[in-house]
Amino acid sequence: MADHVAMTQLEVADYDLGLRGKLVRSSKTHGASGLAFCTILYGLSLIDDVTDTPFSNAANGYPDAQLVPDETTRVALPWRHGTDAVIAELVDEQGRPLEVSPRAVLAGLAARYGELGLAPVLGYEYELWIFRDGEGTSPPILGGRPAHGRTENAYSLTRCAEINDIATEFVNRMDQIGIEVEMFHAELGPGFFEFTLAPETALRATDNAARARQYLRDLCAERGLHASFMAKPFADKSGAGGHVHSSLTRDGNNVFSDGAGALSAEGSRYLAGLLAGMADTSLMLNPHVNSYKRIDPEMFTPALANWGYDDRGTSARVILPDAKSARVEHRRPGADASPYLVAAALLAAGLRGLQEELPLPERDAEPTELPGDLAGALAHFENSTWLPDLLGKAFCTSYAATRRAELQRYEQWLRTTITDWELHRHLEHQ
């Protein structure tokens, strides 16, 4: 019957949304089917402003590239009749993933860890806003709609009860496709919640994170709600973090600690790399103008590249409860950053620490100040001497072009917009 035609949701990693894609007949996604996708994908902003890059631009006509599904990621979506999903990569004429793809960059970094006999393990946790939908303009916050839930208490059981139906359905759906959501709870803020995902090897963990974000937004939309991972929608409230826990394994065993309550040599070098590379990778951890309005040490969002044991005031919180679960929580990334970019930033910085055997600074050493705005982060990224080697020149050039364009659009808006601040200050008094 016509309503039983099987469809596949093709999912492709981009720089801003996490995943983009399209629905196609499932039969066309198996074998040598000639699937293609427009390379403009890597030049689209959140609202589809187009940035020309050396790879895809008006001069070359934004060409298509072949799209190859990664069959290890194919899952049925039981809540969508007759539909499955698969993550796919754009590839070149030789069948190699495009160098500008953030997912391909991440896979390449994971392979370089493999050459050292190591496998990074990542665990994502996301804070997000859930708003009621309804009458008014979009997005919801601009329409003045109340946030989901009447109170703002963190870890509130009342708010857990209010959100129970959504949270339970989300957890169940993720279980059905092999993604384990370990926790869902209320955070401190209007309609503010957090969920955590079980740790997995780097690429699988990141695919899981990208899907969980997208599928939660889809679920909320089904229920007349709007889920947002915006970093800072409320000036006087906490911002939304996208913290990542990372560790190193060898032959399936965690080698981040020495087994006696301290960091191992490898764990120490990896952490040293995270700290040394944090300023240069801030553009990937905090990719938007709004991202930097979240940075506030008083709200546990670090402005310095520092570390400590179980210290939420640091950017790198080392957690060593036992050898099996030893890890470091990177607290600088925002919820607004693509998990692929965040993972690539962490793995690149950590790999540099391992390769160069960087020494770990003392905890009371003077820490590096991190960029406080998008312009500063862009300067660090473009001036980095080590990132092109680990991320690839093609990716660095393409990604930097999109951030530069984003900054220019904001600066143009700022130059030409009369703000409320100006009106209140000048109109009646001059």
Q: Per-residue confidence of the chain (430 residues) as pLDDT tens digits?
A: 344 559 999 999 999 999 999 999 999 998 766 899 999 999 999 999 999 999 999 999 999 999 999 999 999 999 999 999 999 999 999 999 999 999 999 999 999 999 999 999 999 999 999 888 654 345 555 444 556 666 676 667 777 777 888 999 999 999 999 999 999 987 777 788 999 999 999 999 999 999 999 999 999 999 988 999 999 998 888 899 999 999 999 999 999 999 888 999 999 999 999 999 999 999 999 999 999 999 998 888 899 999 999 999 999 999 999 989 999 999 999 999 999 999 999 999 999 999 999 999 999 899 999 999 999 999 999 999 999 999 999 999 999 999 999 999 999 999 999 999 999 999 988 8
> With 0-12 CB in 10 A as exposed, 13-18 as middle and 19+ as buried, what is 3?
exposed
C-alpha 23, offset from chain centre:
23
Q: Which residues contact 359 (CB under 8 A, 6 or more apart)?
A: 268, 272
Distance of alpha carbon 316 from alpha carbon 45, whole angstroms? 29
Distance of alpha carbon 192 from alpha carbon 171, whole angstroms? 17
pLDDT number for residue 147: 62
pLDDT number for residue 385: 97
Domains 5-97 and 107-413 share a fold: no
- Taking CA 172 as the corner, what is the angle to CA 168 and CA 178, rounded to the nearest 5 degrees? 145
For domain 5-97, which CATH number applies: 3.10.20.70, 3.40.720.10, 3.20.20.10, 3.40.50.1010?
3.10.20.70
pLDDT number for residue 31: 76
What are the start-end ranges of the H helices in 247-301? 265-285
In CATH terms, the fold of domain 107-413 is: Creatine Kinase; Chain A, domain 2 (3.30.590)
Q: Where are the domains of the chain?
A: 5-97, 107-413
In 382-401, which positions are buried (b, 16+ CB within 10 angstroms) versus exposed (e)? bebebbeebbbebbbbbbbb
Distance of alpha carbon 226 from alpha carbon 217, whole angstroms? 7
Contact 197, 181 (CB under 8 A): yes
Nearest to 105 by CA among 405, 423, 373, 340: 340
pLDDT number for residue 137: 41
Q: Which residues contact 415 (CB under 8 A, 6 or more apart)?
A: none
> With 0-12 CB in 10 A as exposed, 13-18 as middle and 19+ as buried, what is 133?
middle
In 44-79, which positions are buried (b, 16+ CB within 10 angstroms) versus exposed (e)? bbeeeeebbbebbbeeeebeebbbbbbeebbeebee
